[in-house]
Amino acid sequence: MSEVRKFKLTCIICPLGCNIEVIMEGDRIVRVTGCTCPRGEEYAVQEVMAPKRVVMSVVKVKGGMFPTVSVKTDKPVPKELIPEIMKELASVEVEAPVHIGQVIIENILGTGANIVATRPA
Amino acid sequence: MQNEYDVVVIGGGPAGLAAAIKSKELGLNVLLIENREFLGGIPIQCVHPGFGLHYFREDLTGTEFIHRILKKFLDMGIEYHTNAHVTEIIPHSYRHKILKVVTDKGILKLMAKAVIYATGARERHMFEIGITGHRVAGIYTAGEAQTMMDIYGIMPGKEIVIVGSGDVGLIMARRFTLEGAHVKAVIELMPYPGGLTRNIVQCLEDFGIPLYLSHAVTRVEGKKRVEKVIITKVDENLRPVPGTEEELECDTVVLAAGLVPYLKVIEKAGVIIDPATKGPVVNSYLETSVPGIFVAGNALVINDLVDYVVEQGEEAAMGAYEFVRNGGLPALRWRKLVKGRNVRLLVPHYVSDTKDVMIYARVKKPEENVKVRFPEIGKEIRLPFVKPSEMIRIKLRKTDIAKAGDKITMEVVPNE
């Protein structure tokens, strides 16, 4: 018999903020309750198995209109990698012009996600 | 630069840009005036996502959202002036207003048939929320801190206390933490958090940031720079409880204590202000009590979503178009929108049956399983929950409005 664990989560997919309960036996999910849509269920499973987030920040720019350009990961990345990604971003400096959507760092830390510009510079 | 326009739009943020684009599309001769050195308004410094889900049906960052709108504005070749400040709007006649504008090229005097006022909001400051103590460096509003970090790349401090748990405060807590600062606490006056639950989770709980509910920052202490704040518990009447003071050491205090529509210039022009929204009283064309002066975005009412702000900008432009084309608005009879049970604020204030109207409202207190009811026109909408932090947005059809006499009441009642 493997150990039964309960996880209580608040869904962050939409502003409704459903309270979701996930029940696991060992490393297997046996039940997800409380969500009101399939996206919520997907989020809950993801959150328990391997939580992910979109990371956003700014990086330094040389010769632009502002000294920074805003960036984000183009898809969610593992939550535990956020501090390391932020360190990477702090050490980057790009040259203007930068266009919106431009890839600043490809495949950051092997996550498969790119860092892309969200503002021109 | 000419001196006469159909419409002058004041403010180059989402409401103003949307208003100018719509005005131009409707064939009006339009000028936009912005007081910062760049267009885009506040979203240009919002690097976080959550923008555009309604308007573009995509989850964009503030920067991405505003650049889509800005690109359209620039591609249309709409005339604009940055670094320019409107100091006065003088109603010259029913159909004309004179604007005095201070610019880097001197003082301009412009004539406009209609004005769309889209100046956004200002942030509440420490003296409005009862914080006493030393006037030292290290006290910022959330917007100032955001401008420093996300436009100019400067960190405002290292040990941060945030006042206010609305979405702005929560998002700033995450931004500071991601950039390597230590957010010691978020302090909230009310017994419940002000922001969305999803932001409590992804901005505070993700990083283990403590949230103090029913607490106030009552004092800031320091010599040249903030050294600590005194926080105090508050009772059910939100008054500090003596003897519950605690000290929190920090070098920076960030105030995220809410927004107030920024109306300095149109107040002088004589528009009537609603004490509930702190914005102007408007009709369904978003025209204020001064004919031909329209208002949109956070200058009208504090919105939750930029999508609504853009929608109001477009609405005000359509109002301005009617005004310019007809020399006044075509409405025949105004019905007053009246706040009923559990409705704290309601915009617009007067509607007519000349067109469908989008209404925006907030409740006084959270409730579950309710009906929003308009008894005079027999309209009812069921909602699973309502809360003060989430605006209610409902469309009233002109055919429904036509059914009402002098007023239409909106009330939120339990759903039996």
Residue-level pLDDT at B232 = 97
Cβ–Cβ of B47/A86 closer than 8 Å? no
In this complex, which of B151, B178, B206 lies closest to A57 when CB atoms are compared? B178
Closest residue in B to A57 (Cα–Cα) = B47
Candidates A3, A31, A37; CA nearest to A18 is A37
Amino acid B1: pLDDT: 55
The pLDDT of residue B54: 87
Convert the pLDDT of each residue in B84-128 to its tens digit. 999 999 999 999 999 999 999 899 999 999 999 999 999 999 889
Residue B9 has a pLDDT of 98
Which of these, B85, B119, B98, lies nearest to B263 by C-alpha position?
B119
A60 touches chain B (CB under 8 A): yes
Per the structure, the complete domain to which residue A66 belongs is given by 56-117
The answer to whether B9 touches B89, Cβ cutoff 8 Å, is: no
CA atoms within 13 A on the CB side of B88: 8
Mark whether A76 and A108 lie in a shared domain. Answer: yes
What is the pLDDT at residue A5?
A: 86
pLDDT (0 to 100) of residue B98: 97
Return the closest-CA partner of residue B228 out of B236, B219, B237: B219
**Set of chain B residues whose Cβ sits within 8 Å of the Cβ of A65:** 38
Q: Which residue of B has its CA nearest to A51?
A: B206
The full 3-state SS of B60-74, as one line of letters, equals: EEHHHHHHHHHHHHH
Q: Do A69 and A91 fall into the same domain?
A: yes
Give the per-residue pLDDT at A49: 87
Same domain for A61 and A111, yes or no, is yes
What is the Cα–Cα distance from B223 to B236, expressed in whole angstroms? 34
Q: Give the distance from residue B64's alpha carbon to the nearest chain A alpha carbon, in angstroms.
A: 5
Examine the domain organization and report whether A39 and A73 are in the same domain.
Answer: no
Query: Alpha helix (H) ranges present in B26-94?
Result: 62-75
Mutate to test the interface with B, among A9, A58, A59 (most CBs of B within 10 A): A58
User: B153 in contact with A at a CB cutoff of 8 Å?
Assistant: yes
Backbone angles phi, psi at B155, to 5 degrees: -85, 125
Strand partners, A29: A24
pLDDT digits (tens, 9 = 90+) for B134-160: 999 999 999 999 999 999 999 999 999
**For position A80, which CATH number holds?**
3.10.530.10
pLDDT mean over A62-88: 94
For residue A70, the chain B residues in CB contact (below 8 A) are 47, 61, 63, 150
pLDDT digits (tens, 9 = 90+) for A100-118: 999 999 999 999 999 999 9
Same-domain status, A69 and A43: no
- State whether A45 and A87 are in the same domain: no
A93 in the same domain as A62: yes
Looking at the structure, tell me whether residues A72 and A91 fall in a common domain: yes
Tell me, yes or no, whether A70 and A113 share the same domain.
yes
The count of structural domains within chain A is 2
Reading chain B (416 residues) residue by residue, the pLDDT tens digits are: 579 999 999 999 999 999 999 999 999 999 999 999 999 999 999 999 889 988 998 889 999 999 999 999 999 999 999 999 999 999 999 999 999 999 998 999 999 999 999 999 999 998 899 899 999 999 999 999 999 999 999 999 999 999 999 999 999 999 999 999 999 999 999 998 888 888 898 899 989 999 999 999 999 999 999 999 999 999 999 999 999 999 999 999 999 999 999 999 999 999 999 999 999 999 999 999 999 999 999 999 999 899 999 999 999 999 999 999 999 998 778 999 999 999 999 999 999 999 999 999 999 998 989 999 999 999 999 998 898 888 999 999 999 999 999 999 999 999 98
Q: Are residues A60 and A45 in the same domain?
A: no
User: At residue A1, does pLDDT exceed 70?
Assistant: no
* pLDDT value, residue B338: 98
Question: Looking at the structure, do residues A86 and A107 belong to the same domain, yes or no?
Answer: yes
Interface test with A, best of B38, B53, B61 (most A CBs within 10 A): B61
Contact yes or no for B382/B370 (Cβ under 8 A): yes
**Cα–Cα distance for residue pair B169/B253, rounded to 1 Å:** 11
pLDDT for A46 beyond 70: yes
Helix (H) / strand (E) element for B384: namely: strand B379-386
d(CA A66, CA B40): 13
Q: Is A45 on the interface with B (CB under 8 A)?
A: no
Q: Does residue A38 share a domain with residue A11?
A: yes
